[in-house]
Amino acid sequence: MKISVLKPKKSLGQNFLVDNNVLKKIVTTTKVEESNILEIGGGEGALTKFILMENPKSITVIEKDKYLYHTLSEKFYNKKNVKILKGDVLKFRFDDYLSENSIIFGNLPYNISTKIFTNLITKISWPPKYKSLILMFQKEVGEKIIAKFKTKNYGRLSLLSNFRLDVLNKFIVSKNCFFPKPKVDSMVIHFKPKKNNKFEIKEIKNIEKISNIFFSKRRKMINKSMNKLFNNPEKIYKSIKISPNNRPSDINNHQFFQLIEAYEKEGN
Protein backbone atom coordinates (compact mmCIF):
# COMPACT_ATOMS: atom_id res chain seq x y z
CA MET A 1 0.00 0.00 0.00
CA LYS A 2 1.55 3.28 -1.14
CA ILE A 3 0.81 6.33 0.98
CA SER A 4 0.42 9.63 -0.86
CA VAL A 5 -0.23 11.90 2.11
CA LEU A 6 2.72 14.30 2.39
CA LYS A 7 2.76 14.77 6.11
CA PRO A 8 0.51 12.51 8.18
CA LYS A 9 -1.13 14.46 11.01
CA LYS A 10 -0.23 13.25 14.47
CA SER A 11 -3.14 15.21 15.93
CA LEU A 12 -5.53 13.01 13.92
CA GLY A 13 -3.77 9.76 14.83
CA GLN A 14 -2.73 9.19 11.23
CA ASN A 15 -0.73 5.98 11.30
CA PHE A 16 -1.71 4.19 8.13
CA LEU A 17 -1.79 0.43 7.91
CA VAL A 18 0.47 -0.58 5.03
CA ASP A 19 0.72 -4.35 5.43
CA ASN A 20 -1.58 -6.17 3.00
CA ASN A 21 -1.52 -9.41 5.00
CA VAL A 22 -2.78 -7.63 8.09
CA LEU A 23 -5.41 -5.72 6.09
CA LYS A 24 -6.64 -9.02 4.68
CA LYS A 25 -6.64 -10.63 8.14
CA ILE A 26 -8.76 -7.80 9.57
CA VAL A 27 -11.43 -7.93 6.88
CA THR A 28 -11.70 -11.70 6.96
CA THR A 29 -12.23 -11.74 10.74
CA THR A 30 -15.94 -11.96 10.01
CA LYS A 31 -18.21 -12.47 7.00
CA VAL A 32 -18.46 -9.14 5.20
CA GLU A 33 -20.31 -10.33 2.11
CA GLU A 34 -23.75 -8.69 1.77
CA SER A 35 -23.29 -6.75 5.04
CA ASN A 36 -23.60 -3.02 5.52
CA ILE A 37 -20.28 -1.63 6.68
CA LEU A 38 -19.45 1.52 8.58
CA GLU A 39 -15.76 2.38 8.61
CA ILE A 40 -14.36 4.88 11.10
CA GLY A 41 -11.38 6.92 9.88
CA GLY A 42 -10.95 5.93 6.25
CA GLY A 43 -7.49 7.46 5.81
CA GLU A 44 -6.31 6.75 2.28
CA GLY A 45 -8.71 3.85 1.93
CA ALA A 46 -6.42 0.91 2.61
CA LEU A 47 -8.95 -0.93 4.75
CA THR A 48 -11.84 0.29 2.58
CA LYS A 49 -10.25 -1.32 -0.46
CA PHE A 50 -9.86 -4.66 1.31
CA ILE A 51 -13.41 -4.52 2.67
CA LEU A 52 -14.68 -3.93 -0.88
CA MET A 53 -12.92 -7.08 -2.08
CA GLU A 54 -15.19 -9.06 0.27
CA ASN A 55 -18.35 -7.85 -1.55
CA PRO A 56 -20.25 -5.94 1.12
CA LYS A 57 -23.72 -4.58 0.36
CA SER A 58 -22.60 -1.05 1.21
CA ILE A 59 -19.76 0.85 2.89
CA THR A 60 -20.08 4.21 4.62
CA VAL A 61 -16.74 5.75 5.51
CA ILE A 62 -16.32 8.65 7.89
CA GLU A 63 -13.17 10.77 7.73
CA LYS A 64 -12.42 14.04 9.49
CA ASP A 65 -9.40 15.17 7.45
CA LYS A 66 -10.51 17.33 4.51
CA TYR A 67 -7.61 16.24 2.31
CA LEU A 68 -8.22 12.54 2.98
CA TYR A 69 -11.95 12.99 2.49
CA HIS A 70 -11.22 14.24 -1.03
CA THR A 71 -8.69 11.48 -1.66
CA LEU A 72 -11.26 8.87 -0.63
CA SER A 73 -14.03 10.50 -2.68
CA GLU A 74 -11.83 10.43 -5.77
CA LYS A 75 -10.60 6.90 -5.18
CA PHE A 76 -14.06 5.38 -4.83
CA TYR A 77 -16.13 7.75 -7.00
CA ASN A 78 -17.16 4.95 -9.38
CA LYS A 79 -18.26 2.55 -6.63
CA LYS A 80 -22.01 2.88 -6.20
CA ASN A 81 -22.08 1.14 -2.85
CA VAL A 82 -19.41 3.34 -1.21
CA LYS A 83 -20.40 6.56 0.55
CA ILE A 84 -17.74 8.88 1.96
CA LEU A 85 -18.73 11.29 4.73
CA LYS A 86 -16.66 14.16 6.02
CA GLY A 87 -17.03 14.64 9.74
CA ASP A 88 -15.96 14.03 13.30
CA VAL A 89 -16.85 10.55 14.50
CA LEU A 90 -17.15 11.87 18.05
CA LYS A 91 -20.14 13.96 16.93
CA PHE A 92 -21.57 11.15 14.89
CA ARG A 93 -25.05 9.81 15.66
CA PHE A 94 -24.32 6.16 14.99
CA ASP A 95 -27.99 5.19 15.12
CA ASP A 96 -28.67 7.28 12.01
CA TYR A 97 -26.05 5.47 9.94
CA LEU A 98 -26.42 1.88 10.98
CA SER A 99 -28.79 -0.50 9.33
CA GLU A 100 -29.81 -3.91 10.59
CA ASN A 101 -26.77 -6.17 10.85
CA SER A 102 -24.12 -3.55 10.20
CA ILE A 103 -20.47 -4.26 10.87
CA ILE A 104 -18.28 -1.44 12.14
CA PHE A 105 -14.61 -1.47 11.21
CA GLY A 106 -12.05 1.02 12.44
CA ASN A 107 -8.33 1.31 12.61
CA LEU A 108 -8.98 3.94 15.25
CA PRO A 109 -7.06 7.19 15.69
CA TYR A 110 -5.12 6.42 18.88
CA ASN A 111 -5.74 9.70 20.67
CA ILE A 112 -9.52 9.20 20.73
CA SER A 113 -9.84 5.41 20.50
CA THR A 114 -11.26 4.91 24.01
CA LYS A 115 -13.75 7.75 23.52
CA ILE A 116 -14.96 6.24 20.23
CA PHE A 117 -15.20 2.80 21.83
CA THR A 118 -17.13 4.15 24.83
CA ASN A 119 -19.53 5.98 22.50
CA LEU A 120 -20.17 2.75 20.58
CA ILE A 121 -21.30 1.20 23.86
CA THR A 122 -23.03 4.04 25.64
CA LYS A 123 -24.20 6.56 23.05
CA ILE A 124 -26.23 4.21 20.93
CA SER A 125 -29.68 2.65 21.27
CA TRP A 126 -29.48 -0.81 22.76
CA PRO A 127 -29.57 -3.54 21.54
CA PRO A 128 -27.52 -1.94 18.79
CA LYS A 129 -28.05 -2.43 15.08
CA TYR A 130 -24.47 -3.52 14.61
CA LYS A 131 -23.73 -7.24 14.71
CA SER A 132 -19.95 -6.89 15.00
CA LEU A 133 -17.30 -4.37 15.89
CA ILE A 134 -13.83 -4.94 14.51
CA LEU A 135 -11.60 -2.29 15.99
CA MET A 136 -7.90 -1.65 16.25
CA PHE A 137 -6.49 -0.01 19.38
CA GLN A 138 -3.03 0.63 20.69
CA LYS A 139 -2.06 -2.61 22.45
CA GLU A 140 -2.15 -1.07 25.94
CA VAL A 141 -5.74 0.08 25.45
CA GLY A 142 -6.73 -3.31 24.03
CA GLU A 143 -5.29 -4.95 27.13
CA LYS A 144 -7.41 -2.72 29.36
CA ILE A 145 -10.54 -3.62 27.40
CA ILE A 146 -10.06 -7.38 27.64
CA ALA A 147 -8.60 -7.40 31.17
CA LYS A 148 -9.87 -9.90 33.73
CA PHE A 149 -10.28 -9.18 37.43
CA LYS A 150 -7.21 -9.53 39.66
CA THR A 151 -5.02 -8.05 36.92
CA LYS A 152 -3.49 -4.59 36.74
CA ASN A 153 -5.39 -3.55 33.60
CA TYR A 154 -8.84 -4.38 34.98
CA GLY A 155 -11.05 -1.32 35.42
CA ARG A 156 -13.56 1.02 33.80
CA LEU A 157 -12.93 -0.07 30.20
CA SER A 158 -13.09 -3.80 30.89
CA LEU A 159 -16.27 -3.39 32.94
CA LEU A 160 -18.01 -1.27 30.34
CA SER A 161 -16.97 -3.58 27.56
CA ASN A 162 -17.90 -6.73 29.43
CA PHE A 163 -21.32 -5.38 30.35
CA ARG A 164 -22.40 -5.07 26.73
CA LEU A 165 -19.98 -6.94 24.50
CA ASP A 166 -18.41 -10.35 24.06
CA VAL A 167 -14.87 -10.59 22.72
CA LEU A 168 -14.76 -13.19 19.96
CA ASN A 169 -11.24 -12.86 18.75
CA LYS A 170 -8.14 -10.68 19.02
CA PHE A 171 -4.67 -10.41 17.55
CA ILE A 172 -1.62 -8.20 17.80
CA VAL A 173 -0.38 -6.07 14.92
CA SER A 174 3.26 -5.03 14.97
CA LYS A 175 4.09 -1.32 14.85
CA ASN A 176 6.19 -2.16 11.76
CA CYS A 177 2.98 -2.61 9.76
CA PHE A 178 2.21 1.13 9.83
CA PHE A 179 3.43 4.32 8.22
CA PRO A 180 4.51 6.38 10.00
CA LYS A 181 5.61 3.76 12.50
CA PRO A 182 3.97 4.35 15.90
CA LYS A 183 5.83 3.78 19.17
CA VAL A 184 3.69 0.84 20.21
CA ASP A 185 2.10 -2.30 18.75
CA SER A 186 -1.64 -2.50 18.15
CA MET A 187 -4.41 -4.95 18.93
CA VAL A 188 -7.40 -5.80 16.76
CA ILE A 189 -10.45 -6.96 18.71
CA HIS A 190 -13.60 -8.48 17.30
CA PHE A 191 -16.66 -7.83 19.53
CA LYS A 192 -20.27 -8.90 19.35
CA PRO A 193 -23.09 -7.32 21.36
CA LYS A 194 -24.21 -9.55 24.25
CA LYS A 195 -27.58 -11.15 23.54
CA ASN A 196 -28.90 -11.60 27.05
CA ASN A 197 -27.76 -9.50 29.90
CA LYS A 198 -28.93 -10.76 33.26
CA PHE A 199 -28.01 -7.55 35.07
CA GLU A 200 -30.58 -4.82 35.23
CA ILE A 201 -28.45 -1.72 35.25
CA LYS A 202 -30.69 1.17 34.17
CA GLU A 203 -28.07 3.85 33.62
CA ILE A 204 -24.89 2.75 31.93
CA LYS A 205 -23.25 5.94 33.17
CA ASN A 206 -23.39 4.38 36.64
CA ILE A 207 -20.85 1.77 35.48
CA GLU A 208 -18.50 4.61 34.59
CA LYS A 209 -19.26 6.52 37.79
CA ILE A 210 -18.77 3.58 40.16
CA SER A 211 -15.70 2.23 38.40
CA ASN A 212 -14.14 5.70 38.47
CA ILE A 213 -14.76 5.92 42.22
CA PHE A 214 -13.22 2.50 42.91
CA PHE A 215 -10.36 2.45 40.43
CA SER A 216 -9.15 5.98 41.13
CA LYS A 217 -7.95 4.35 44.37
CA ARG A 218 -6.87 1.13 42.76
CA ARG A 219 -4.48 0.05 45.54
CA LYS A 220 -6.73 1.03 48.44
CA MET A 221 -9.25 -1.17 50.20
CA ILE A 222 -12.81 -0.61 49.06
CA ASN A 223 -14.31 0.24 52.48
CA LYS A 224 -14.11 4.02 52.09
CA SER A 225 -15.66 4.01 48.63
CA MET A 226 -18.40 1.68 49.89
CA ASN A 227 -19.18 3.96 52.85
CA LYS A 228 -19.50 6.86 50.45
CA LEU A 229 -21.87 5.01 48.15
CA PHE A 230 -24.14 3.02 50.45
CA ASN A 231 -26.19 3.72 53.57
CA ASN A 232 -25.73 0.14 54.73
CA PRO A 233 -22.57 -1.27 53.13
CA GLU A 234 -22.59 -4.32 55.45
CA LYS A 235 -25.70 -5.59 53.71
CA ILE A 236 -24.02 -5.27 50.32
CA TYR A 237 -20.80 -7.01 51.45
CA LYS A 238 -22.90 -9.95 52.53
CA SER A 239 -25.24 -10.14 49.57
CA ILE A 240 -22.58 -10.01 46.89
CA LYS A 241 -19.89 -11.79 48.88
CA ILE A 242 -17.18 -9.17 48.96
CA SER A 243 -15.19 -7.80 51.88
CA PRO A 244 -14.35 -4.26 53.02
CA ASN A 245 -10.68 -5.30 52.83
CA ASN A 246 -10.89 -6.17 49.13
CA ARG A 247 -9.08 -4.01 46.61
CA PRO A 248 -11.17 -2.95 43.58
CA SER A 249 -9.48 -5.48 41.29
CA ASP A 250 -10.53 -8.35 43.64
CA ILE A 251 -14.17 -7.77 42.68
CA ASN A 252 -15.14 -9.64 39.56
CA ASN A 253 -17.34 -8.03 36.93
CA HIS A 254 -20.52 -9.85 37.99
CA GLN A 255 -20.04 -8.62 41.55
CA PHE A 256 -19.46 -5.11 40.21
CA PHE A 257 -22.67 -5.22 38.21
CA GLN A 258 -24.59 -6.46 41.27
CA LEU A 259 -23.06 -3.64 43.26
CA ILE A 260 -24.24 -1.11 40.68
CA GLU A 261 -27.73 -2.64 40.69
CA ALA A 262 -27.79 -2.20 44.48
CA TYR A 263 -26.60 1.40 44.10
CA GLU A 264 -29.45 2.14 41.70
CA LYS A 265 -31.97 0.42 43.97
CA GLU A 266 -31.05 2.87 46.72
CA GLY A 267 -32.55 5.57 44.46
CA ASN A 268 -29.37 6.78 42.75
List of residues contacting ligand SAM (CB under 6 A): 12-17, 41-43, 46-47, 62-65, 68, 88-90, 107, 109, 112
| Nearest one of 56, 68, 63, 107 to 86, comparing CA atoms | 63
Compare residues 44 and 143 and give the one whose CB is closer to ligand SAM: 44
- Considering the complex, what minimum distance in angstroms separates the CB of residue 92 from ligand SAM? 7
- Considering the complex, what minimum distance in angstroms separates the CB of residue 30 from ligand SAM? 17
Compare residues 95 and 266 and give the one whose CB is closer to ligand SAM: 95
Angle of helix 253-265 relative to helix 156-164, nearest 10 degrees, comes to 80
- Considering the complex, what minimum distance in angstroms separates the CB of residue 38 from ligand SAM? 11
Antiparallel, parallel or unpaired: β 102-107 and 82-86: unpaired
Compare residues 42 and 56 and give the one whose CB is closer to ligand SAM: 42
Taking the C-alpha atoms of residue 84 and residue 102, their distance in angstroms, rounded to an integer, is: 16
**Residue 208 three-state SS:** helix
Compare residues 18 and 121 and give the one whose CB is closer to ligand SAM: 18
Chain position whose Cβ is nearest to ligand SAM: 41
Q: What is the DSSP letter of 164?
A: H
C-beta separation of 210 from 260 below 8 A: yes
Compare residues 54 and 250 and give the one whose CB is closer to ligand SAM: 54
Q: What is the DSSP letter of 176?
A: G
Taking the C-alpha atoms of residue 36 and residue 9, their distance in angstroms, rounded to an integer, is: 29
Helix, strand, coil proportions of the chain in percent (round to 5)? 40, 20, 40
Compare residues 3 and 221 and give the one whose CB is closer to ligand SAM: 3
Compare residues 13 and 155 and give the one whose CB is closer to ligand SAM: 13
**Concatenated DSSP letters for 89-155?**
GGG--HHHH--TTEEEEEE--GGGHHHHHHHHHHSS-SS-SEEEEEEEEEHHHHHHHSPPTTSTT-S
CA distances from 215 to 130, 157, 223, 232 (A): 30, 11, 13, 21
